[in-house]
Structure 1
């Protein structure tokens, strides 16, 4: 089959995928599987090999990432329900002082965003932003905008978040190197995003009266537009983002309700911080050990095992269960229940990641991957730029960061294999894909609707603030990966 025919099949396949997700509201998992089957048959994959190809794509992907995603979700759930997340955020505010509260909440979003999913972190921290906005009589957006953007940045860039894990495994990057380079890159992106948000929030934006009343404890004066916010009618929003995440649709739903946390004294700041960084340090030690210590040495073998992401997260989960659970009075049944409660929210994410692996396997088995690689090579564009641009385009088109990252990795894997990149370069490509997945959060993204409804912004204000800020931070992230490229 000619390259032009294979490319046409690929274009039709991606277009069909977007139509199924956006217009038909089909779950991305189902859409990816259906499109994968259609693309495989159209590209000439023998019917007898079709099921085997799907199983191999699903199995090879989930074999690497399912355990990591599940363990990460359990750790985040224990930190959340023990009260550790709120305690951690309040401790940061106390340490930074009232003048630097926006920065404190941004740092809290960064650190808590590592073990806690974006949507959960937003629900946990938004009541704290409400409280400090009420106390200071400043606009809510001053606190909420950099905080929310920080959590979304971590969600797009760093393991153990699903998209980052899936991309790292799909393209053959090293999770330790992704963390080693990704953490400082993410920190710089968040810091610069914080500075950009400070300029954005110097002006007032219209605010939903229901959210205004919830934040400031009073109804806004429609005649007075110089206060913390001014009244504006609510904008409509879809009820689902296409991959199982509920989106707020009414002004009254913007009121944040705290999760059912433990009523015992909350864990200390130091305890929560230690549990957040423990798996990161173990993974980094494993990577350093493999690159520094001699092969066959006992120390290298020990660090390799401890630094395996699955082992590092399993150790951290045990520590969380003990220090945040058992030592604070949770019995075994309650600890098991808390861990189990984390799995329903990530089950569909794991399946979507597996279906993305199926799509990537089909592209390789059908020869479409090589055809795409040929075309992309002829453009003369660097792999890093292609990775960022493709992730950004898919993110803008269908909304989900995770789907954009996974689909981009599947499409680019043949090109990256042909380019013979080093592990360090592949890790930067993974981060560039994350930068593309961070950008252009707009009206087809559940995160956009969650943020705008919780902060009371209308559609136009959300686009001028949240969308512009996430896109700016995505561009900054790509710029940093490009700056590091000559060094690796």
Structure 2
């Protein structure tokens, strides 16, 4: 099919998706699957290949997302329900003052985002964001969560060792160390902009929260015997009466269980443990010889799934059992955490289906080919290609690698300095951040865990991602002018 037809098909598919979700109020999971089906058939995919393609897109996405989101939600629930997030919020508030809590957490999230995938890091921080927002007197976690989400996804797309920017650096022959340094330097002013932009976005209107998230944020999703003193665990008294055949109570048993609050050091250890394990795997992979026994062991240690699994297992004991929680009680807390996580997992999987259809039908290649033939300057071309792929299929990593592959020949055949090649890589990264919308897994993770509707997710996540992506591109452009 012609590139023009494919481009129109992509635009109509995205418009239909937005219409079904925002106007028809169709569940996002169903809407994504329906639009993927219609798009596949409209662009000429053989009917017998449509469902296998959709299944492959769902499976490849869920294989990673389900594991990380499920374990991350469990770890977050343990930290929150045992009072750990409350303790951290109280400690930071006492030390920094309410007016500095937001910037302090934003800085901490930036550090965490360097070695950790956005999805994992954001989910780990959710209960802490909730407690920090309450401690600072905010009406909603959105005020704290929006700038954090924006900055973390920006770092994920521009700073190695994340897969997209590392892969594009390799394809284009860029110095990864230099990419890291320049990417971090750009992230500093972008972080300030994220804080300012987040305040502007969240101050312009109130954001109604999903009832489940509202109950969790307000602390009304737990019973009085589970929480006391603003969220910290308290002594739990329970009584049970067993009635005989005649309806008279024949036995009464009263049990007293004392629950203590974990210390901030223990809570921080549980948060930092998976981060440190993944960091060990990342650094070890760069320093050790590939294929060696040491490299293989370090690689296993650094797997996000293993890191989160170990953190969850330790948190059950360190934050739960040691402080008076029974194994059944802490298990119930973990089970309940999977209910909201399941929504995120399935919607993200449906987004993967839509992304696979857009990729396999050739829509992305067709649109990018038109830009390559138009003679656009290399830096702008890199940014636009990544933006097009980001809008078309959602994954920043796929957008980055695909864009780098398309311009690889142009870059290798051009007379570009090492710093210019680095800036081209970073321009691609900025393009993979901007214009993120409902086919982006990050959109669903941020909006669902913060309790936002689809429309409010577009007003927050899409706006701040676009602002940061374009601002980063402007900074890259200024550096290009300086070094050229």
Q: TM range, normalised to the smaller chain?
A: 0.5 to 0.7
Whether the 8 Å contact between 2:61 and 2:348 is mirrored in structure 1 is: yes
TM-aligned CA distance change 1:405 to 1:12, over 3 Å:
closer
Matched, 1:104 2:101: yes
Query: Aligned partners of 1:46, 1:428: CA distance in 2, in Å?
Result: 36
Query: Residue 383 of structure 1: CA displacement?
Result: 3.1
Q: 2:136 aligns with which of 117, 121, 129?
A: 129
Query: Residue 7 of structure 1: CA displacement?
Result: 2.0
Counterparts of 1:388-407 in structure 2, within 5 Å, are 406=394
TM-aligned CA distance change 1:151 to 1:378, over 3 Å:
same
Scaled by the length of structure 2, what TM-score is found? 0.65
Query: Aligned partners of 2:450, 2:78: CA distance in 1, in Å?
Result: 26
TM-aligned CA distance change 1:57 to 1:407, over 3 Å:
same
Counterparts of 1:234-383 in structure 2, within 5 Å, are 245-246=210-211, 256-257=218-219, 259-260=221-222, 261=231, 262-263=233-234, 264-378=259-373, 380=376, 381-383=380-382
Whether the 8 Å contact between 1:387 and 1:433 is mirrored in structure 2 is: yes
TM-aligned CA distance change 1:305 to 1:468, over 3 Å:
closer
Query: Aligned partners of 1:109, 1:330: CA distance in 2, in Å?
Result: 32
Partner SS for 2:19? helix
TM-aligned CA distance change 1:117 to 1:151, over 3 Å:
farther
Whether the 8 Å contact between 1:157 and 1:435 is mirrored in structure 2 is: no
Whether the 8 Å contact between 2:77 and 2:334 is mirrored in structure 1 is: yes
Q: Over residues 249-292 of structure 1, what are the superposed CA-to-partner deviations in whole Å (9 max), with x where a residue is unaligned?
A: 9xxx9994455353233222222222222212211221221121
TM-aligned CA distance change 1:186 to 1:267, over 3 Å:
farther
- Aligned match of 1:92: 92
TM-aligned CA distance change 1:428 to 1:247, over 3 Å:
farther
Q: Over residues 216-237 of structure 1, what are the superposed CA-to-partner deviations in whole Å (9 max), with x where a residue is unaligned?
A: xxxxxxxxxxxxxxxxxxx897
Q: Over residues 397-416 of structure 1, what are the superposed CA-to-partner deviations in whole Å (9 max), with x where a residue is unaligned?
A: xxxxxxx9836767777545
Query: Residue 33 of structure 1: CA displacement?
Result: 0.8
What is the total number of aligned residue pairs between the two structures?
A: 399
- Aligned match of 2:41: 41
Query: Aligned partners of 1:298, 1:64: CA distance in 2, in Å?
Result: 25
| Structure 2 unpaired stretches of 5+ | 113-120, 169-175, 223-230, 235-258, 413-421, 438-445
Query: Residue 91 of structure 1: CA displacement?
Result: 0.8
Query: Aligned partners of 1:484, 1:299: CA distance in 2, in Å?
Result: 40
- Aligned match of 1:231: none
Whether the 8 Å contact between 1:173 and 1:427 is mirrored in structure 2 is: no
TM-aligned CA distance change 1:288 to 1:335, over 3 Å:
same
Pair member with larger Rg: 2
Q: Over residues 373-400 of structure 1, what are the superposed CA-to-partner deviations in whole Å (9 max), with x where a residue is unaligned?
A: 2124345334345545876xx6xxxxxx
- Aligned match of 1:53: 53
Whether the 8 Å contact between 1:370 and 1:415 is mirrored in structure 2 is: no
Query: Aligned partners of 1:449, 1:67: CA distance in 2, in Å?
Result: 20
Q: 1:418 aligns with which of 406, 409, 412?
A: 406
Whether the 8 Å contact between 2:383 and 2:430 is mirrored in structure 1 is: no
| Structure 1 unpaired stretches of 5+ | 131-139, 207-234, 395-403, 439-444, 452-458
Query: Residue 73 of structure 1: CA displacement?
Result: 1.3
Q: Over residues 204-248 of structure 1, what are the superposed CA-to-partner deviations in whole Å (9 max), with x where a residue is unaligned?
A: x89xxxxxxxxxxxxxxxxxxxxxxxxxxxx897x78xxxx4599
Query: Aligned partners of 2:350, 2:464: CA distance in 1, in Å?
Result: 31
Whether the 8 Å contact between 2:364 and 2:388 is mirrored in structure 1 is: no
Q: Over residues 334-393 of structure 1, what are the superposed CA-to-partner deviations in whole Å (9 max), with x where a residue is unaligned?
A: 2221111111112121112211221122123222232122124345334345545876xx
TM-aligned CA distance change 1:89 to 1:343, over 3 Å:
same
- Aligned match of 1:25: 25
